[in-house]
Amino acid sequence: MDISERNKIIIAAILMPTFFGFSFLASKIALNAIDSTPIALIAYRFFFAAIIMYILRKTKLTNIELKGKNIKLILLLSIFYPVSSFIFETIGISMITSSESGIIISLHPIFTTIMATFILKEYPNKPQVGFILLSTAGVFFINYMQKEAGYDIMGYLVLLLAVVLSSSHGALSRKASLDFKPEEITYMMIISGAIVFSAILIVIHLIEGNIMELFTPLLNIKFMISVLYLAVGCSVISFFLLNYLYSKLEASRISVLTNIATVISIFAGVIILKEIIYWYHYVGAMAIIGGTLGTNYYGEKLSSFNK
């Protein structure tokens, strides 16, 4: 790996969780700005992201060429994440408390590592396993200390399914990177999400008999600014960076990196929304950062997967 490529990876590794970290804040602002549901926010997010990707492709600002390629793998990847994963995550989060949701979502790096082991034959070394568990424990600890509990077993199972589906993205994206560029994988993910989530939102409005209200959120400035951030920053840019990183590094190293988004979201809430930060936030944040740094420090290219 040359210096320039290493610098690109470092920059991507910093920007990706940063954009995702502020997504929680943007989502909260958007949902507070209008009387709507999370599925509406997701639909608008992917709709605008798809428009942006279409423009980038048509203007040749990004080189996306899918003609003649077997897109079955990236189509399967897109069905798993974001489509199915986002649907089950939305349902699961609505059934249990936010702290319980955070605890279950924190299992993402562990499941990603397991997926990579079975699909890619990438085996983390012992120090990596320890640091992955440390980072996961940090997220788990923060959410456990919130002391909220609904104990809805079905909610746990639904959200756990969402985590398993999103965890498959890392292994499948890494495998797909042998034949597809990161921007091509990102394009398919966003277009698939836009088609499915927009269709769901339209059907909901048709059933409720208020199809014209589909356009009401577009008149709210706060909502639109938040949605555009989610579309550009968290869908177009972050998905691309995530797929780029998966094409360069082992899945276990990238998955644990996403936990940094939790740390960023906490401090974003404190700085912008004036939310209160407690001692356990600092303890959990140190565990997350330490686990992430340790996982990548002890990471190494595995010979079983060759670009």
Please report whether residue 14 resides in a domain.
no
Amino acid 150: pLDDT: 66
Task: Tell me if 160 sits within 8 A of 91, measured CB to CB.
Answer: no
Averaged pLDDT for residues 77-85: 96
Please report whether residue 306 resides in a domain.
no
Amino acid 96: pLDDT: 83
Averaged pLDDT for residues 162-167: 94
Averaged pLDDT for residues 186-211: 96
pTM recorded for the entire structure: 0.88
Q: 37-59 burial string, b = 16+ CB within 10 Å, else e?
A: ebbbbbbbbbbbbbebbeebbee
Please report whether residue 4 resides in a domain.
no
Amino acid 304: pLDDT: 43
Give dist(CA 166, CA 77) in Å, integer.
Answer: 9
Specify the amino acid at residue 69.
K
pLDDT at 149 over 80: no
pLDDT at 229 over 50: yes
Give the CA count within 13 Å in the CB-facing half-sphere of 68: 2
Please report whether residue 101 resides in a domain.
yes
Task: Tell me if 231 sits within 8 A of 45, measured CB to CB.
Answer: yes
pLDDT at 306 over 50: no
Please report whether residue 162 resides in a domain.
yes
**Furthest-apart CA atoms within the chain: distance in Å:** 58
pLDDT at 254 over 70: yes
Please report whether residue 21 resides in a domain.
no
Parent domain of 77: 33-297
pLDDT at 198 over 90: yes
Please report whether residue 305 resides in a domain.
no
Task: Tell me if 184 sits within 8 A of 74, measured CB to CB.
Answer: yes
Averaged pLDDT for residues 153-170: 92
Amino acid 301: pLDDT: 45
Q: What pLDDT band is residue 3 in, cutting at 50, 70 and 90?
A: low
Q: How many structural domains are present in the chain?
A: 1
Specify the amino acid at residue 42.
I
